[in-house]
Amino acid sequence: MVLRPSIAIVGNGCAAVECVKALRESRHSGAIHIFADNSFPPYTPALTTYFAADKITYDQLAPLGNADDFYRAYGLETHLDSPVTAIDVNNRIVRNTAGEEIRFDQCLIATEASPVLSPIPRIQSTRVLTMRSIGNAVRLKEAIAAGLKRAIVAHQLPRYPVWLDRVV
Ligand SMILES: Cc1cc2nc3c(=O)[nH]c(=O)nc-3n(C[C@H](O)[C@H](O)[C@H](O)COP(=O)(O)OP(=O)(O)OC[C@H]3O[C@@H](n4cnc5c(N)ncnc54)[C@H](O)[C@@H]3O)c2cc1C
């Protein structure tokens, strides 16, 4: 009997894409479900600042180009634009906001991280922007277009104080 385990991959970034390629190159012929909280093609967050600064175009953010071709070529079952809300490890089920419940044999969580704002007074402001996703880059671009001239760039690692990087 040929075993064809079903794989669930949560996230559609670089790690997810490389996992898909490795699975198919290793002759995995079972189902691969890919879950994403967005409908963008796989892109690299490292380029978002270049996009915000008009150094690259929107299309250049996504090295694979048209995601549909990639998803089709690798025979993926896609569950896009609906964040995964729970992984039932005991019963091996992924749940998302679309109400889907997908069973898996093995699961890769490739969601990376999201910016967390420190509990500083008045930090929940439209003037405080985080930088991680295409959505964040679009907001920064809009702020620049609306006349933003100067920004304080700050970052923080866990357990370290906020690092004021530079004023640009
Ligand atoms: C501004 C910036 C500059 C960077 N510069 C560099 C650099 O110079 N060199 C370098 O090596 N690295 C750099 N990085 C880091 C690099 O981008 C990451 O290490 C890399 O993207 C990680 O890939 P990943 O696939 O693990 O995660 P990501 O590419 O972040 O992909 C994770 C995906 O999972 C999705 N997701 C999250 N939660 C859920 C959920 N609940 N359900 C479904 N989907 C979800 C996200 O929307 C995202 O699309 C930079 C990052 C940023 C933001």
Dist CA 7 CA 79 (whole Å): 13
What CATH code is carried by the domain that includes residue 14?
Answer: 3.50.50.60
Q: Which domain holds residue 131?
A: 114-168
Are 80 and 126 in a shared domain? no
Residue 44 structure tokens: 């690299």
At residue 1, the pLDDT reads 52
At residue 167, the pLDDT reads 58
At residue 94, the pLDDT reads 98
Are 136 and 58 in a shared domain? no
Are 43 and 95 in a shared domain? yes
Residues 131-166: pLDDT tens digits? Answer: 999 999 999 999 999 998 888 888 777 666 666 666
Residue whose CA lies nearest to ligand 1 atom number 32: 111
Residue 131 structure tokens: 């930088």
Q: Quick check: CB of 16 below 6 Å from ligand 1?
A: yes
Are 101 and 120 in a shared domain? no
Residue whose CA lies nearest to ligand 1 atom number 12: 46
Q: Quick check: CB of 134 below 6 Å from ligand 1?
A: no
At residue 72, the pLDDT reads 95
At residue 116, the pLDDT reads 84
Q: Are 73 and 50 in contact (CB under 8 A)?
A: no
| Residue 1 belongs to some domain of the structure | no
Pick left, alpha or beta for residue 32 (phi over 0 → left; psi -120 to 50 → alpha; otherwise beta).
beta
Residue 60 structure tokens: 């250049």
Are 120 and 104 in a shared domain? no
φ/ψ of 133, rounded to 5, equals: -110, 175
| Residue 166 belongs to some domain of the structure | yes
Residues 6+ apart with CB under 8 A from 108: 7, 8, 9, 10, 15, 16, 19
Residues 6+ apart with CB under 8 A from 161: none
At residue 113, the pLDDT reads 87
At residue 51, the pLDDT reads 93
At residue 160, the pLDDT reads 66
Q: Which residues of the chain have pLDDT under 70?
A: 1-3, 158-168
Are 148 and 127 in a shared domain? yes
Q: How far apart are the first and last CA of the chain?
A: 62
Are 46 and 128 in a shared domain? no
| Residue 31 belongs to some domain of the structure | yes
Q: Quick check: CB of 49 below 6 Å from ligand 1?
A: yes
Q: Are 140 and 129 in contact (CB under 8 A)?
A: yes
Burial class from Cβ neighbours inside 10 Å (0-12, 13-18, 19+) for residue 35 reads: buried
As for how many domains the chain has, the answer is 2
Interval between CA 45 and ligand 1 midpoint (Å): 5
- Fill in the amino acid letter for 113: A
